[in-house]
Structure 1
Amino acid sequence: MRVYLEFAKKSFQNNVTYRMDYFAGVINAIVMIFVNICIWRAIYEEEESLEGVQFKILVTYIVLSFLMQVVYMMDEYFIESKVRSGLISSDLLKPINFRLYVFSYNVGTTIFRLLMQLTPAIIISIFLFKLLPPFSTEMFLYFSLSAILGYLVLYNLNFLVWVSSFWFYWTFSLITIKDAAVMIFSGALIPLWFLPEWLTDIIKYTPFDSIFYIPIRIYLGQIPHEEIMNSVFKQVIWALLLFAIGQLLWRAAAKKLVVQGG
């Protein structure tokens, strides 16, 4: 386990080296939040509520969504670059678990974003966008757990696309499609309560709402206390199911390994 902690540490240090990316990430998050709030303000047309949703609740939803996106950001081309360069063959010869290696690398980046980008962005959002506090301390703890599970669901979903680089020379199109699906169906871009009911009923049977929608609803106190554990259990099931599918794909990819490039 120590070697994977070192991988995470190295990833963290790599991010610290590029300090301008850190500042750019914070500024980009704040700008995107501001733009989206302005768009929704125009939609609300000076009304304080729309379809029963208060504007201040929506603002908090938007802020949390974009801040979580900052933390959830991962290296989408880490595996593809290794496959294309041929470095994947040497990685597989090392006495390490490659899946844990990729995971620890991304965790290191996530920890950096938590400490160096999320913290200042939250402070700015509290004063600039009037970010509401969590519904209660208990809900904040549930939210933290749910947010971690949301990250795991997204990571394992991403891995399914990343490992496709063993079959596709370029994965840009697949990643773009996946990102679009996540943004729309997870509630990252538009809260699911504004989507048609028939569509949200379908989304409930997919892993998408487990990524952003469930954690944020818990934060806002919109999920009844007795239903929270069911929502968290749903996230656990999706994380495990996607992991299992990823494991099957990984084994197939390892057998198929054809090094492309030098």
Structure 2
Amino acid sequence: MSRAYLELAKKSFQNNLVYRAEYIAGVLNAIVMIFVNISIWRAIYEEEGALEGLQFKMMATYVVLSFLLQTLYVMDEYFIEVKVRSGLISSDLLKPISFRMFVFSNTLGTLVFRLLLQLSPALLLSIILFQMLPPFSVQMALYFAVSALLGFLVLYNLNFLVWISSFWFYWTFSLVTIKDAAVLIFSGALIPVWFMPEWLADFVQATPFASIYSTPIQIYLGMIPEDEIVTGMLRQLAWVLILGLAGIVLWHRASRKLSVQGG
């Protein structure tokens, strides 16, 4: 059965290969957004008179990592909604595979595509153009890679909860927009958590949002003491499990709702 899911992920990867123009546009968009945001932060630092070499390089590296991860974490927000509204969800449920794993396999194939064909060239260009700082050590790089994967899983499971709401809401655009705004604001994707008021930073740390971008980037920058890194990743894992369990419960309710309606 696991081979079937690998084939689904492979098919998703191949489907993404078809849209090569979108692939190139994705790389260029990431570079442009990084350049614009670094320019904004440079202007802020110069205005405040705090443009110090290492300090600004860390900020620039934070911006690069944030936008590269955002490029990597892009998912099809309306994959389930389209199937529900078109009625294709009924035939998908008849297949001898888990629909939840079908959705995850499709997302995983897109992730691998973006990792190999968008993130890699964008990262290389960022190193050349923006002189981003390297990780402090190979060990920190490995910690960052594991934390970034956990961040992806946190975001996926959070997204899945919103996607499943399409069984109750005809349109999920508003919910997706609200969720995206919350992720951008509270995850540290746009503004590092350490720039937030203390009360807001404490709130963010108590939510799954910090586990998406802030934790892996701070690990990369060496801003989390080494003896606290494992604790940070365990917190990420806990959110993966909590949100994943909530997704399973909500999916069972959604599938029962479909059965009751004759789907």
TM range, smaller chain: over 0.9
TM-aligned CA deviation for residue 48 of structure 1: 4.6
How far has the Cα of 1:165 moved from its partner? 0.2
Paired residues for 1:111-260 under 5 Å: 111-257=112-258
Same amino acid, percent of matched pairs? 67
For this pair of structures, how many residues does the alignment match?
A: 260
User: Structure 2: which amino acid aligns with 1:117?
Assistant: Q
Counterpart Cα distance in 1 of 2:235 and 2:221: 19
- State the 1:166 CA deviation: 0.2
For each residue in 1:140-163, what CA deviation from the matched residue of structure 2 results, as whole angstroms up to 9, or x when unmatched? 000000000000000000000000
Secondary structure of the 2:43 match is: helix
Query: Cα deviations across residues 72-123 of structure 1 (Å, max 9, x unaligned)?
Result: 0000000000000000000001110010000000000000000000111011
Confirm or deny that 1:23 pairs with 2:18: no
SS at match of 1:45: helix
Secondary structure of 2:67 counterpart: helix
Q: Which amino acid aligns with 1:25?
A: G
Q: 2:11 is matched by which residue type in structure 1?
A: K
* 1:11 aligned residue: 12
Amino acid corresponding to residue 19 of structure 2 in structure 1: Y
1:40: which partner in 2?
41
When the two structures are superposed, what TM-score results if normalisation uses the length of structure 2? 0.96
Does the 8 Å CA contact 1:60/1:132 hold for their aligned counterparts?
Answer: yes
TM-score by length of 1: 0.96
Q: Deviations over 1:183-229 (max 9, x none)?
A: 01000011111111100001111000000000000001110010001
Distance 1:48 1:60 in 2: 17
* 8 Å contact from structure 2 (residues 42, 51) kept in 1: no
Structure 1 residues 218-259: Cα deviation after superposition (integer angstroms, max 9, x where no partner)? 001110010001000000000000000011100000011179
19-28 vs 130-139, which moves further: 130-139
- Distance in 2 (alpha carbons) for counterparts of 1:193 and 1:219: 15
Q: 1:93 to 1:251 in 2, by over 3 A?
A: same
What are the Cα deviations for residues 113-134 of structure 1, in whole angstroms up to 9, with x where unaligned?
A: 0000011101100010111101
Runs ≥4 residues deviating over 6 A: none
- Quick one: which amino acid aligns to residue 131 of structure 1? M
**2-structure distance, mates of 1:259, 1:39:** 53
Residue 56 of structure 1 deviates from its aligned partner by 0.6
Aligned equivalents of 1:258, 1:37: Cα separation in 2: 51
User: In structure 2, what residue type is equivalent to 1:156?
Assistant: N
Distance 2:219 2:210 in 1: 12
Gaps spanning 5+ residues in structure 2: where? none
2-structure distance, mates of 1:198, 1:115:
39
Deviation, structure 1 residue 49: 4.4
8 Å Cα contact 1:10-1:108 kept in structure 2: yes
Note the C-alpha offset of 1:45: 1.3
Secondary structure at 1:170 match in 2? coil
CA distance in 2, matches of 1:12, 1:23: 16
3-state SS of paired residue (2:77):
coil
Do the aligned residues in 2 keep the contact of 1:83 with 1:259 (CA within 8 Å)?
no
